[in-house]
Structure formats: structure tokens, C-alpha cells
Amino acid sequence: MQNHPTSDDPLVLYGQVFHSRLLLGTSRYPSPSVLEAAVQRARPAMVTASLRRQGSNPAENGQRFWELLRQLQVPVLPNTAGCHSAQEAITTAQMAREVFDTPWIKLELIGDDYTLQPDTLHLVSTAEHLIREGFQVLPYCTEDLVVCQRLVDVGCQAVMPWAAPIGTGRGPVNPYALQLLRERLPVPLLVDAGLGLPSHACQVMEWGYDGVLLNTAVALAQDPVSMAGAFADAVQAGRTAYRSGAMQAQDAAQASTPVLGTPFWHHDTP
């Protein structure tokens, strides 16, 4: 089954139209050829790349990787992975804008090395600074409603809460908070981190999320290419289900077979 998003329901971020609701990471794949095949199968809206991990000088830090990114012909979303301070994140974002020639940035500001939980105390002010500099910021954050609302208040036109800590594959560990975010925030929401199965992606899309960003669940699968396709199909299925309007759950059983008459009947035996 191939993923064919409908043109009448595009993902729109900062005024730009994307015809896929899946974003794909580019690290930890078995080989560049597997990464390329996975991207071709999933047809994502964007692929992420970390400037800090790859380095800013292609001649010294993997010319092949940079060439591959260009060959993929998919928009690149640079990120500030590994940054632990606001100044680190701002400097990395500025370098990424020059290297990739794009105003897009996935803002990661790590506050805890064990869980890789975002630094929610400084995330909002960092995002505000980057927005003032003209960046189109996609902030990676927790499911905290107040933090997400503050990110919107300072100008973030989309927010990317986690479902679970990065790389855990546990799926949505706090469904209540994630669904509350969807109810309260009027901007696009993309789940970023913690999804492990296509069913996880389908579930959050059924809740009304606008997209998902994946890396580990695809890259570390036994067959990353097939898994990339499975996630792409699941994202589209979840979006279609959300737009279709699911039936309300019932407490009691409801017969689904119509009764047109009673061809048989019982009578008392004398």
C-alpha cells in the first residue's frame, strides 16, 4: 500500500504547504542507502539533520551525507540537538541557517541528560529570540499545556510535544495531556519523540494531531524501509479517520444487523 496524501488536506506550517504529515529523522540508519530508500518509501514532508552531530564543514564531516541530503530532494529541517543552553541553541541555529540556507529550525534545548527532557524553563525565551531573528521555529517540548501555550504566545506557529522520552518507543504515555493540548491549542501540533509503532502514530493522528516526527522507530527497525512505509500509511490512516468522524463509544451493545422481519417464531408445545 502506497502513501498518497490527498491534496485537499495539506499540512500547513508557517504558511508553507506540505503534502505529507510525516517528518523523518536521518540518524542511526544501518547505511546511507537504507536511509535513502526509507525516505523514498515514506515521502516525508521534511527530513531532520543535526548540525552539531554532522559538523559545519562537509569536507571534514561526511561529504557523502551532505550529498545524500541534496539528492533526496526533500526539505531539510535542521535541529539544535545536543544543545544544553540557550546560547548554544541560538548559535547552532544561526550556523544551520547559513549551512542549509533555510529559516526552518527544530529547536531542541535539553534540560536533563537522562531523559533528554526539554529545558522548559528556558525554551520559551529561546524560541522568542529565534523568532525575532526571522526563524520559523518548531520547538520540541513536553506535553505541558502552559509551556506549549507560552510558545504559541511568543510566536511559534506550531508546537512539537513528545509522546515519551526520545528513543524509548513507548508511545503516548500521557494521553490525557496530549488530548488536552489538542483541544486547547489552535496551532498545528506534531508529536515529536517516543513513538515506537505505527499504531502509536495512527492513534495521535486520530486525536487530531497534525503530524508526527520519527527517527529511532524507523532507523532501528529490522527492515527500516518497510517500517518507514508502515508509519507513512498509519499517519495517513489516522488523519483520514480523524476527518471522517469516529462513532461515539457506547456503554451497551448495539445490534449492527438490521431486522427486516421475523421469519421464524416459537410457540408453546402443548
**Residue 79 among the catalytic residues:** no
- Choose, from 52, 106, 150, 200, the residue flagged as catalytic: 106
Q: CB–CB of 122/110 below 8 Å?
A: no
> In whole angstroms, how far apart are CA 147 and each of 115, 152, 160, 193?
18, 9, 11, 17
CB neighbours (10 Å) of residue 36?
Answer: 17
Q: Which DSSP letter does residue 15 get?
A: T
Report the helix count and the strand count for the chain, using DSSP H and E: 10, 10
Residues making up the binding site for 1-deoxy-D-xylulose 5-phosphate = 167, 193-194, 215-216
> In whole angstroms, how far apart are CA 167 and each of 36, 133, 184, 197?
21, 31, 27, 12
Q: How far apart are CA 123 and CA 140, in angstroms?
A: 9
Residues making up the binding site = 167, 193-194, 215-216
Q: What does the DSSP assignment read for 200-221?
A: HHHHHHHTT--EEEESHHHHTS
Q: How far apart are CA 53 and CA 205, in angstroms?
A: 30
Q: CB–CB of 69/26 below 8 Å?
A: yes
- 35, three cell numbers: 536511509
Task: List the catalytic residues.
Answer: 106
